[in-house]
Structure 1
Amino acid sequence: MKTRLGLMALKLLILIVACVSITEAGLAAMSVDFGSQFMKIALVKPGVPMEIVLNKESRRKTPNLVAIRNGERYFGEAALAVSVKYPKCAFGYLSDLLAKRVDNPILSLYKERFSLLNMTVDEERQTVQFDIDGEKHSVESLIAMVLSHARKTVEDFAEQPVRDVVITVPAFFNQAERRAMVAAAEIADLNLLQLLNEHSAAGLNYGVFRRKEIGEQAQTLLIYDMGASKTTAAIVSYQLEKEKDSNEKNPQMRTFGFGFDRTLGGFEITLRLRDHLVKEFRKQVKVRQDIATNPRAMAKMLKEAERLKQVLSANADHFAQVENVHEEHDFKLRVTRAELEEMIADLEHRMLQPIIDSMKMAEMDVGQIDQVVLMGAGTRVPKVKAVLQGFFKNKELANFLNTDEAIAMGAVYQAAHLSKGFKVKKFGVHDLHIFPIQVDFLSASEKDGKSMPRVVHRPIFSYKSFYPSNRKILSFTSYDEDFGFNVNYGDLKQLSEKQLREFGSVNISDVEMTGIAEAIRTEMTDGSTTMKGVKVRFSMDGSGIFHLEGAEAVFEKIQKEQSAFASIAGKFAGLFSSGSESKEKEGSGKPTEGGSNKEEEAGKGVEEKEQVGAKTGSDQTKEGDNSAVKPDAASPKGSTAEKEKEVTQEQKPKTVKIPLKLSETRLDVFALPANEIASAKKMLSDFEEREQTKAKREAAHNNLEALVYDVSDKLEQSEFQKFITEEERSSVSEQVKVVRAWLEDEVDLETTTDQFESKHKSIQDLLKPVKFRIKEFKERPVVVADLLSLFNHTEMFLTLSENLTAVEIFSETEITTLKKVFNETKTWWTEKNATQLALKPTDQPAYTVRDLKEKIWDLDREMKYLLNKMKFAKPKVPKEERKGSDTNRTGTESAASSEQGSTAEEATEKRGDMEEVDLTGHGDEKSSTEEEGGESGGSPAEDGKTHDTSEL
Structure 2
Amino acid sequence: MSPGRLLLVFENQCLCSALCVQVTMRRKMLWALFCLVLALLPSQTAVMSVDLGSEWMKVAIVKPVLPLFLTISPWIIDCVLLDGNPYSISCLFFMYSQLLTSINNPKFVYRYLQSLLGKKHDNPQVAFYQKRFSEHQLVKDASRGTVVFRNSEIMQYSPEELLGMVLNYSRGLAQDFAEQPIKDAVITVPAFFNQAERRAVLQAAQMAGVKVLQLINDNTAVALNYGVFRRKDINSTAQNMMFYDMGSGSTTATIVTYQTVKTKDSGTQPQLQIRGVGFDRSLGGFEMDLRLRDHLAKLFNEQKKTKKDVRENHRAMAKLLKEAQRLKTVLSANAEFMAQVEGLLDEMDFKAKVTRVEFEALCADLFERVPGPVQEALSSAEMSLDEIEQVILVGGSTRVPKVQEVLLKSVGKEELGKNINADEAAAMGAVYQAAALSKAFKVKPFLVREAAVFPIQVEFTRETEDEDGSRSLKHNKRILFQRMAPYPQRKVITFNRYTDDFAFDINYGDLSFLGQNDLSVFGSLNLTTVQLSGVSSSFQKHMDAESKGIKAHFNMDESGMLLLDRVESVFETIVEEKDEESTLTKLGNTISSLFGGGSSEPNANVTEPVQDEEEVPSESGKEQSKEEAEAKEEEKEAKEAAEEEKEAAAEEKEAAEEEKAAGKEEKDAAAAKKAKPQKRTKFSEDVSVELQVNDILNPSLEAIASSNKKLQDLTDRDLEKQEREKTLNSLEAFIFETQDKMYQEEYQAVVSEEEKETITTKLSEASAWMDEDGYSAVTKELREKLQELRKLCKAMFFRVEERRKWPDHLAALESMLNHSSFFLRSVKLTPEDDQIFTEVELKTLDRVINETITWKNDTVAEQEKRSPTERPVLLSKDIESKLSLLDREVHYLLNKAKFAKPRAKAKANSTVSESSSKPTGQNTDSSSQSQPKDETASTGTSAKATILLHVQIGTQVSYNFSLHKWESNGKE
1:62 is matched with which residue: 53, 74, 88? 74
| Kept in 2: contact 1:445–1:596 (CA 8 A) | no
2:68 aligned partner: 50
1:785 aligned partner: 811
Identity of aligned residues (%): 38
Counterpart-to-counterpart distance in 2, 1:683 and 1:795? 70
1:611 aligned partner: none
Counterpart-to-counterpart distance in 2, 1:175 and 1:21? 39
Indicate yes or no: 2:415 matched with 1:415.
no
Amino acid at match of 2:800: I
Are residues 18 and 878 of structure 1, via their aligned partners in 2, closer, same or farther at CA, if it must alter by over 3 Å?
A: closer
Counterpart-to-counterpart distance in 1, 2:452 and 2:420? 25
Q: What's the CA shift string for 1:649-677, capped at 9, x where partnerless?
A: 36434433111111111122212222212
Counterpart-to-counterpart distance in 2, 1:810 and 1:589? 84
1:930 aligned partner: none
2:210 is matched with which residue: 176, 182, 190? 190
| Kept in 2: contact 1:808–1:875 (CA 8 A) | no
Indicate yes or no: 2:129 matched with 1:110.
yes
Amino acid at match of 1:61: S
Q: What's the CA shift string for 1:189-246, capped at 9, x where partnerless?
A: 1000111111110111111111111111111111001111101111111111111345
Matches within 5 A, 1:22-421: 22-53=40-71, 60-67=72-79, 70-74=86-90, 75-77=93-95, 78-134=97-153, 135-245=155-265, 248-421=267-440
TM-superposed CA distance for 1:523, in Å, is 2.6
Counterpart-to-counterpart distance in 2, 1:242 and 1:802? 78
| SS in structure 2 at match of 1:481 | coil
- Most deviating of 438-447 and 121-130: 438-447
TM-superposed CA distance for 1:596, in Å, is 9.5
Amino acid at match of 2:531: E
TM-superposed CA distance for 1:691, in Å, is 1.7
| Kept in 2: contact 1:475–1:599 (CA 8 A) | no
Matches within 5 A, 1:703-742: 703-742=730-769
Counterpart-to-counterpart distance in 2, 1:244 and 1:444? 46
| Kept in 2: contact 1:535–1:589 (CA 8 A) | no
TM-superposed CA distance for 1:174, in Å, is 0.9
Amino acid at match of 2:542: E
| Kept in 2: contact 1:222–1:234 (CA 8 A) | yes
Are residues 232 and 574 of structure 1, via their aligned partners in 2, closer, same or farther at CA, if it must alter by over 3 Å?
A: farther
- Most deviating of 217-226 and 236-245: 236-245
TM-superposed CA distance for 1:830, in Å, is 2.2
1:538 aligned partner: 554
Counterpart-to-counterpart distance in 1, 2:121 and 2:889? 85
| Kept in 2: contact 1:533–1:591 (CA 8 A) | no
TM-superposed CA distance for 1:910, in Å, is 11
Amino acid at match of 2:737: D
Counterpart-to-counterpart distance in 2, 1:98 and 1:819? 81
| Kept in 2: contact 1:559–1:654 (CA 8 A) | yes
Q: What's the CA shift string for 1:804-848, capped at 9, x where partnerless?
A: 124233333333333232222222222222333344432332321
| Kept in 2: contact 1:67–1:79 (CA 8 A) | no
Are residues 590 and 169 of structure 1, via their aligned partners in 2, closer, same or farther at CA, if it must alter by over 3 Å?
A: closer
TM normalised by structure 1 equals 0.84
Counterpart-to-counterpart distance in 1, 2:411 and 2:74? 33
TM-superposed CA distance for 1:16, in Å, is 5.7
* RMSD (Å) for aligned C-alpha atoms: 4.1
1:658 aligned partner: 685
1:701 aligned partner: 728
| Kept in 2: contact 1:231–1:261 (CA 8 A) | yes
Counterpart-to-counterpart distance in 2, 1:911 and 1:647? 106
TM-superposed CA distance for 1:489, in Å, is 1.2
| SS in structure 2 at match of 1:793 | helix
Counterpart-to-counterpart distance in 2, 1:225 and 1:462? 24
- Most deviating of 865-874 and 401-410: 865-874
Counterpart-to-counterpart distance in 2, 1:517 and 1:254? 43
Counterpart-to-counterpart distance in 2, 1:565 and 1:663? 48
2:784 is matched with which residue: 753, 758, 765? 758
TM-superposed CA distance for 1:283, in Å, is 0.7
| Kept in 1: contact 2:255–2:377 (CA 8 A) | yes
Counterpart-to-counterpart distance in 1, 2:825 and 2:673? 102
Amino acid at match of 1:43: I
Counterpart-to-counterpart distance in 1, 2:600 and 2:882? 79
TM-superposed CA distance for 1:517, in Å, is 1.2
Matches within 5 A, 1:672-691: 672-691=699-718
| Kept in 1: contact 2:492–2:616 (CA 8 A) | no
Indicate yes or no: 2:580 matched with 1:555.
no
Are residues 93 and 646 of structure 1, via their aligned partners in 2, closer, same or farther at CA, if it must alter by over 3 Å?
A: farther
Are residues 914 and 214 of structure 1, via their aligned partners in 2, closer, same or farther at CA, if it must alter by over 3 Å?
A: farther
1:529 is matched with which residue: 526, 545, 562? 545
TM-superposed CA distance for 1:588, in Å, is 9.3
Amino acid at match of 1:867: L
Amino acid at match of 1:214: I
| SS in structure 2 at match of 1:287 | coil
Are residues 411 and 591 of structure 1, via their aligned partners in 2, closer, same or farther at CA, if it must alter by over 3 Å?
A: closer
Query: Runs of 5+ in structure 1 lacking a partner?
Result: 54-59, 603-640, 895-899, 920-934, 936-943
Q: What's the CA shift string for 1:485-514, capped at 9, x where partnerless?
A: 111111122222222222222211111111
Indicate yes or no: 2:467 matched with 1:440.
no
Are residues 742 and 329 of structure 1, via their aligned partners in 2, closer, same or farther at CA, if it must alter by over 3 Å?
A: closer
Are residues 794 and 149 of structure 1, via their aligned partners in 2, closer, same or farther at CA, if it must alter by over 3 Å?
A: closer
| SS in structure 2 at match of 1:771 | helix
| SS in structure 2 at match of 1:225 | strand
Indicate yes or no: 2:880 matched with 1:860.
no
| Kept in 1: contact 2:147–2:158 (CA 8 A) | yes
Amino acid at match of 2:227: G
TM-superposed CA distance for 1:593, in Å, is 12
Counterpart-to-counterpart distance in 2, 1:593 and 1:98? 35
Indicate yes or no: 2:771 matched with 1:744.
yes
Are residues 395 and 903 of structure 1, via their aligned partners in 2, closer, same or farther at CA, if it must alter by over 3 Å?
A: same
TM-superposed CA distance for 1:861, in Å, is 2.7
Indicate yes or no: 2:465 matched with 1:465.
no
- Most deviating of 452-461 and 130-139: 130-139
Are residues 257 and 695 of structure 1, via their aligned partners in 2, closer, same or farther at CA, if it must alter by over 3 Å?
A: same
Amino acid at match of 2:874: Y
| SS in structure 2 at match of 1:453 | strand
- Most deviating of 389-398 and 683-692: 389-398
| SS in structure 1 at match of 2:427 | helix
1:775 aligned partner: 801
Are residues 645 and 829 of structure 1, via their aligned partners in 2, closer, same or farther at CA, if it must alter by over 3 Å?
A: farther
2:901 aligned partner: 874
Are residues 254 and 325 of structure 1, via their aligned partners in 2, closer, same or farther at CA, if it must alter by over 3 Å?
A: same
| Kept in 2: contact 1:166–1:195 (CA 8 A) | yes
TM normalised by structure 2 equals 0.82
| Kept in 1: contact 2:608–2:683 (CA 8 A) | no
Counterpart-to-counterpart distance in 1, 2:397 and 2:617? 55
TM-superposed CA distance for 1:901, in Å, is 4.1
Indicate yes or no: 2:447 matched with 1:431.
no
TM-superposed CA distance for 1:882, in Å, is 6.1
TM-superposed CA distance for 1:451, in Å, is 4.2
| Kept in 2: contact 1:886–1:912 (CA 8 A) | no
Are residues 561 and 861 of structure 1, via their aligned partners in 2, closer, same or farther at CA, if it must alter by over 3 Å?
A: closer
Are residues 243 and 13 of structure 1, via their aligned partners in 2, closer, same or farther at CA, if it must alter by over 3 Å?
A: closer
